[in-house]
Amino acid sequence: MVDKDLLSIQEARSLVRAARAAQAEYSQLGQERIDAVIKAISEVGIAHAEELAQMAHEETGYGKTADKKTKNLLAAEEVYACIKDMKTVGILEEDKVNKVLKVAVPVGVIAGVVPSTNPTSTVIYKSLISLKSGNAVVFTPHPSAKKCIAATVQYIKEALHKCGVSTDLVSCVSVPTIEGSAELMKIADLILATGGPGMVKAAYSSGTPALGVGAGNVPAYIERSADIKDAVAKIFASKTFDNGTICASEQSIICDAVIAADVKREVIAQGGFFLEGENLAKVKAIMERGNGSMNPAIVGRDAQTVAKIAGITIPEGTRLLVSDEPGVGPKYPFSKEKLTSLIGFYVVNDWKEACELCHSLLHNCGIGHTLAIHSHNEDIIREFGLKKPVSRIVVNTPSTHGGVGLSTGLFPSFTLGCGAVGGSATSDNVNPMHLLNIRYVAYDLGNTPVAAPAAPKHTCSCGGSCGGHGSVDINALTSMIVAELKKVM
């Protein structure tokens, strides 16, 4: 009987060894050759976007095929469009005034951790940014998505072969285990981690430099000056996109009391069903496992499926299950991250109380990630921008689409940094420049102060009788000799 753990560890070592040899050769190619490789990966991602989306949906059961196709195209088209003209090879910048050159240095071999919620799109995205910056990448897949991830890697390998570069530049562990993933993260040069809190924590604990993301628990604040119908429509479009599997999706709606009735009416009109009594109790019973973590059975499921699992009946056309959540914390499951068709609902008196509630929700789960605000009061928007403990605040836009850069000017990315407050090494939407080291070549500016040379010393063998511990200033010695000569003349 083969030990899967040992097999996975050995495979990780072999793949990294091969990737390191391939990357050493690949990193010597010029910008033009590397850009051709990136274009080929983009084209293969576009060509197979729908097929891979279907595979991901069938294998994991998460989300919607159409939305997974959109995510694949976001990675293959939008990410490529943003990086294709980036300079990532050789001298990046020359400061002629300060006489400093900035030289791009690839990190080496990237360990790509891939989640089951966004499997194929994450592989396309991480392959593009890794190879654009002159690196190789070895993926460790989530076991429940290993087939669609392997298929994506295989299509990319075919593109690499046609470009005349080593197919070892992109590879994937075929026997994923915790031990194999740990070994990969230990021997790679950098970890690019997207996944659950446990996997991200393991990445940062591996001893290898890591770029990871924390949990998202996005509050969506509808301030009294907002267009209510537009705000609710955007929240629903975002939260139902791929059935809420993107960590930037909204987890709670917060609204001012003076508009709360109007917001509730609009939520119901657009397909929200407010849970009460026994219905609410049954849904809460299946939201979490015994340890308080999300129940994987409801992740990425539509409202009807969640209702069926909970054993309740809901109206046809229901898009989201909503709960008036009375508090924040471990005892209030609707105050946590819910990667499915569930959302909390809160009412506050004004924007200042909304600020405090957003803080509580983010500290409960999701600090450093993302916050959404719907408002036409620029002063309040700026207050949120200046003080909220998140890395991105998206304004009057769906949080999912805005956070990943689909409906905003943010860099299109599937790795959304949460900053130091969220336990991440960056607050950026990760791009190729995060996978490069910069070598600085700095020239002398000609303004270094140079000390005057010291007076010459004379070393004698008097054993220290001259008072200089064996050495004395030559001028002092000359004066002494002259004085002695005068005495005998």
Q: Please, what are the domains in the chain?
A: 4-213+432-440 (3.40.605.10), 218-414 (3.40.309.10), 457-488 (no CATH)
Per-residue confidence (pLDDT) for residue 447, from 0 to 100: 86
Per-residue confidence (pLDDT) for residue 88, from 0 to 100: 97
Give the helix/strand (H/E) hosting 320.
strand 320-324
Distance of alpha carbon 102 from alpha carbon 114, whole angstroms: 32
| DSSP secondary structure, 36-58, as one string | HHHHHHHHHHHHTHHHHHHHHHH
Mind listing the pLDDT tens digit of every residue in the chain (489 residues)?
468 899 999 999 999 999 999 999 999 999 999 999 999 999 999 999 999 999 999 999 999 999 999 999 999 999 999 999 999 999 999 999 999 999 999 999 999 999 999 999 999 999 999 999 999 999 999 999 999 999 999 999 999 999 999 999 999 999 999 999 999 999 999 999 887 677 777 888 888 999 988 789 999 999 999 999 999 999 999 999 999 999 999 999 999 999 999 999 999 999 999 999 999 999 999 999 988 889 999 999 999 999 999 999 999 999 999 999 999 999 999 999 999 999 999 999 999 999 999 999 999 988 999 999 999 999 999 999 999 999 999 999 999 999 999 999 999 999 999 998 888 889 999 999 999 999 999 999 988 777 666 655 555 555 555 554 445 455 664 565 556 555 544
* Total count of residues recorded for the chain: 489
Positive/negative CA dihedral, 43, 44, 50, 56: negative
Per-residue confidence (pLDDT) for residue 126, from 0 to 100: 98
Per-residue confidence (pLDDT) for residue 135, from 0 to 100: 98
Give the helix/strand (H/E) hosting 434.
none
Per-residue confidence (pLDDT) for residue 489, from 0 to 100: 47
CA dihedral 183, 185, 190, 193 (to 10 degrees): 160
Cβ 183 vs Cβ 9: under 8 Å: yes
Give the orientation angle of helix 49-60 with respect to helix 146-162, to 10 degrees.
160
Per-residue confidence (pLDDT) for residue 488, from 0 to 100: 47
Please state whether 454 falls in left (phi above 0), alpha (psi between -120 and 50) or beta: beta
- Which residues are tagged catalytic? 247
Q: Please list, in sequence order, all residues whose beta carbon lies within 8 angstroms of the beta carbon of residue 186, skipping any fewer than 6 positions away.
A: 206, 207, 208
